[in-house]
Amino acid sequence: MEDDPVALIEYWSIDPDYDGLTFRSTWQDYRENTANDGDPLHCVYRTRLRVPHQEHRRVCVKAVDVFGFESQVVLTAE
């Protein structure tokens, strides 16, 4: 845990067009999903999304850890 604190992530998801009210996941990864990286004990740490160009975009990334705590960050691109 000290060497890899992100290993405590149970799942995370991304809403690339977050409206500030409703989170609409368009991408997610979770522990035991071996389709993305082959490791059943970890989520992937990076991803790339292809989305249509917009002048202004608000992206929300939400993560839930193995204890059930949820966190999110909102990034705005202008």
Residue ranges making up the domain that contains 21: 5-77
Note the pLDDT of residue 64.
Answer: 92
| Phi-psi map region of 47: left, alpha, beta (phi>0 left; psi -120 to 50 alpha) | beta
Averaged pLDDT, groups of 10, the chain, 78 residues long: 74 93 90 63 77 91 92 90
Where does residue 38 fall: left (phi above 0), alpha (psi -120 to 50 degrees), or beta otherwise?
Answer: left
Does residue 49 contact residue 63 with C-beta atoms inside 8 Å?
Answer: no
Query: ∠ CA 31-70-36 to the nearest 5 degrees?
Result: 25
pLDDT at 57: 93
Domains: count for the chain = 1
pLDDT of residue 16: 94
Predicted TM-score of the model (pTM): 0.78
Q: Specify the pLDDT at position 46.
A: 77
Residues β-bridged to residue 57? 77
| Beta carbons of 74 and 58 less than 8 angstroms apart | yes
Question: What is the pLDDT, as a whole number, of residue 26?
Answer: 92
